[in-house]
Amino acid sequence: MPFPIGTAAMAGQFDDPAWVHLALTHVSQLTPEWEMKMEYILAGPDDYRWDAPDRIAAFCVTHGLRLHGHALIWYAQGAEVFEGLDRARFIEAFDGYIATVAGRYRGRAVGWDVVNEAVAEDGNGLRDCHWSRALGQDGYIARAFEQAKAADPDAVLFLNDYNLENNPTKGATFLRLVERLLKAGVPIGGLGTQSHLDIEIPAGQTRAFFRDAAAFGLPIHVSELDASLRSEGRIDTRSPRQRIDQQTARVAELTEAFVALPPAQRYAFTVWGMRDTDSWLRRDARDDGKDSPLLFDAAGQPTPMFDAVAGVIRAR
């Protein structure tokens, strides 16, 4: 492959021979889906749980796969541990967490999502969260990257977010944040776009975001690709074939935009799960058992989305 292909993994999937066979056949990089997040690792300021993340890291070593660390600082996690701390202890715990986690996998993780989802949901500014209230909206991001760089200086350090293709306002805010942080000397090493694609977005919108993001010259990670066929409550008169055609067109455009990057900027192309039934989109009350957001169906057979991605890569 001309660049690494990745998937999300959970340690329990290593006990499923069908999943293992599919992953080892098609991917060269794993991202822990949940078990390297703070919610899993950190039970208290000095209480760490390593069983599952260590197992994922060991699986990568055993099978010659790259490990991408996900995620050190995320607005959605950590409040229950950090919010009761005074400022001095907050900073000590913040720095210590990053040093401990990134340091544990130093030399094994090729990259880290250092800060995850810093931009507000609607794209207008940055999120208000326990990290920003203690350290400032840009301040906590800058500090996280500085601490990660000290803990694992050879890893590629990513700012990672979602809806950057789906919402041009959010994409522009993300890129302004990157520009501002780089000018301040923050050691951002790469840009992660989750690419949970809305199949309704206009043609060309994904390509435009990649063009603007590529101007920084940094590695880009398609970090969590999936593309739901659901209509999300909208009245939907499209046939299943029309929905699949929209899905594959948007995914093909994303793949084309990624493979058009200079080789040094193609960090990895990661799909957020192997089979449709592994997807987070198939784990909630909305699931009707029919969504097909990934490259393989429940039986491990390629979906039309697989053909869209593979067709673009083979054409290169």
Average pLDDT over residues 265-276: 98
User: Tokens in use for 53?
Assistant: 């993340």
pLDDT at 9 > cutoff 90:
yes
For the stretch 212-231, pLDDT in tens is 999 999 999 999 999 999 87
The pTM assigned to this predicted structure is: 0.96
- pLDDT confidence bin for 239, thresholds 50/70/90: confident
**71 preceded by a cis bond (ω within 30 of 0):** yes
Distance in angstroms (rounded) separating the CA atoms of residues 7 and 224: 8
Q: Any idea which architecture 5-315 has in CATH? A: Alpha-Beta Barrel (3.20)
5-9 and 266-271 strand pairing: parallel
Query: Band of the pLDDT at 280, cuts 50, 70, 90?
Result: very high
Q: Which two tokens stand for residue 112?
A: 């880290």
What pLDDT does residue 98 have?
98
- Looking at residue 307, what is its pLDDT? 97
End-to-end CA distance of the chain: 10
Which amino acid, one-letter code, is at 211? R
Q: pLDDT of 283-305, one tens digit each?
A: 877 677 789 999 999 999 999 99
Q: Is the pLDDT of residue 1 over 90?
A: no
Could you state, in order of their start, the residue ranges of all structural domains in the chain?
A: 5-315
pLDDT reading at 240 higher than 90: no
Q: Across all residues in the chain, what is the average pLDDT?
A: 96
pLDDT digits 0-9 by tens, 104-135: 999 999 999 999 999 999 999 999 999 999 99
Q: Tell me: the pLDDT tens digits for 174-209?
A: 999 999 999 999 999 999 999 999 999 999 999 999
